[in-house]
Amino acid sequence: MSTADPRLENEHTRTGLSKEALKRAFLDNLFYIQGRSLEVATDNNLYQAAAYTVRDRMLERWIKSSRIYKDQNLRTVCYFSAEFLLGPHLANNMINLGITEVSREVAEELGLDFDRIIESEEEPGLGNGGLGRLAACYMDSLATNQIPAIGYGIRYEFGIFDQIIVDGWQVEQGDTWLRNGNPWEIMRPKLSFPVGFGGYSERYIDEHGVPRQRWRPDLLVNGVAYDTAIMGYGVTNVNLLRLWKSEAPESFNFGAFNVGDYYGAVHAKIEAETISKVLYPNDEPVAGKELRLKQQFFFVSCSLQDMIRLELRHAGTLERFHQKYAIQLNDTHPSLAIAELMRLLMDDHLMTWEQAWAITRNSCHFTNHTLLPEALETWSVDLFERLLPRHLEIIYEINRRFLDEVRVHFLGDDERVARMSLIDEQGGRKVRMAHLAAVGSKAINGVAELHSELLKTTVMKDFNDLWPERFHNVTNGVTPRRFIVASNPELAALITETCGNDHWVRDLDCLRDLEPHAEDHALQQRWREIKTNAKRKLSNWLGERTGFAPDPETLFDVQAKRFHEYKRQHLNLLHIIWVYEQIKQSPNIDLTPRTFIFGGKAAPGYVMAKLMIKLINAVGEVINTDPQVNGYLRVLFMPDFNVKNGQRLYPAADLSEQISLAGKEASGTGNMKFSMNGALTIGTLDGANVEIRDEVGHENFFLFGMTATEVQHQQALGYQPWELYQRDEQLRSAVDLISSGLFSHGDTELFRPLSENLIHSDPFMVLADFHDYRERQREVDHAYQDRRHWDRMSILNTTRMGKFSSDRSINEYAERIWQVTPMTVDLSRAREG
> 228: part of which helix (H) or strand (E)?
strand 219-231
Q: Which of 333, 365, 432, 561 is catalytic?
A: 561
Q: Is 369 a catalytic residue?
A: yes
Length of the chain: 833
Angstrom distance (rounded) from CA 618 to CA 614: 6
The torsion region of residue 427 among left (phi > 0), alpha (psi -120 to 50) and beta comes to left
* Alpha helix positions (H), 460-602: 461-466, 480, 489-499, 521-546, 569-585
d(CA 680, CA 675): 6
> Which candidate in 155, 567, 601, 693 is catalytic?
567
637 Ramachandran zone, left/alpha/beta (phi>0; psi -120 to 50): beta
Q: Is 332 a catalytic residue?
A: no
Task: Give every CB contact of residue 81 below 8 A, 6+ residues apart in sequence.
Answer: 131, 132, 135, 151, 152, 153, 330, 331, 333, 334
Count other Cβ atoms within 10 Å, centred on residue 749.
9
CB contact set of 136 (below 8 Å; sequence gap of 6+): 84, 85, 86, 87, 127, 643
For the question of residue 320 being annotated catalytic, the response is: no
Contact 36, 74 (CB under 8 A): no
Give me the catalytic one of 155, 322, 390, 562: 562
Residue 562 designated active-site: yes
Instruction: Name the active-site residue from 61, 64, 435, 673.
Output: 673
Residue 493: what residue type? Answer: A
Q: How far apart are CA 666 and CA 582, in angstroms?
A: 35
List 669, 681, 684, 799, catalytic entry: 669
Q: What residues have CB less than 8 Å from 573, skipping those under 6 apart?
A: 612, 615, 616, 619
Whether residue 398 contacts residue 435, with contact meaning beta carbons closer than 8 Å, is answered with no
**Spatial separation of the C-alpha atoms in residues 534 and 552, rounded to whole Å:** 9
3-state DSSP of 402-423: HHHHHHHHCCCCHHHHHHHCCE
What span, in angstroms and rounded, lies between the C-alpha atoms of 705 and 243? 42
Residue 263: other Cβ atoms inside 10 A:
9
409 is catalytic: no
Is residue 669 part of the annotated active site? The answer reads: yes
Question: Beta partners for 154?
Answer: 244
Active site residues: 369, 561-562, 567, 669, 673
